[in-house]
Amino acid sequence: DAGITQSPRHKVTETGTPVTLRCHQTENHRYMYWYRQDPGHGLRLIHYSYGVKDTDKGEVSDGYSVSRSKTEDFLLTLESATSSQTSVYFCAISGWGPNTEAFFGQGTRLTVV
């Protein structure tokens, strides 16, 4: 299995609080991604990174920010959590080239109450 670790695996937080999810890889892959998975929507891209300090928005980036200060770590922050951000969050990594597959972490189940 690709070396991807997401933390925490489960979190319950209150509306309006900041939350940070961490993705750590040991594969030295250039590309890292954050997706959210919701019933009926599949996986939707939140933000992605194509190198240290190089990030860009995905299709559902509102309310989220990311940072990547090291190759191995990609952080996703919810500045002020809302109930609509209750979801399962997946981190993925990939090497260079569109024909390479993405490898996924085990996911973080976030509940905003």
Residue indicated by tokens 């891209």: 45
The Cα–Cα gap between 109 and 56 comes to: 23
Token output for 93: 């990594």
52-111 residues in contact with other proteins (CB under 8 A) are: 56, 58, 90, 92, 94, 96-107
The verdict on 8 binding other proteins (CB under 8 A) reads no
Least distance CB 50 / other proteins (angstroms): 6
The verdict on 41 binding other proteins (CB under 8 A) reads yes
The Cα–Cα gap between 23 and 17 comes to: 20
In whole angstroms, how far apart are CA 112 and each of 6, 22, 34?
18, 17, 18
Q: Applying CB under 8 A, which of residues 21, 25, 31, 46 lies at the interface with other proteins? A: 31
The footprint of other proteins (CB under 8 A) covers: 31, 33, 35, 40-45, 48, 50, 56, 58, 90, 92, 94, 96-107
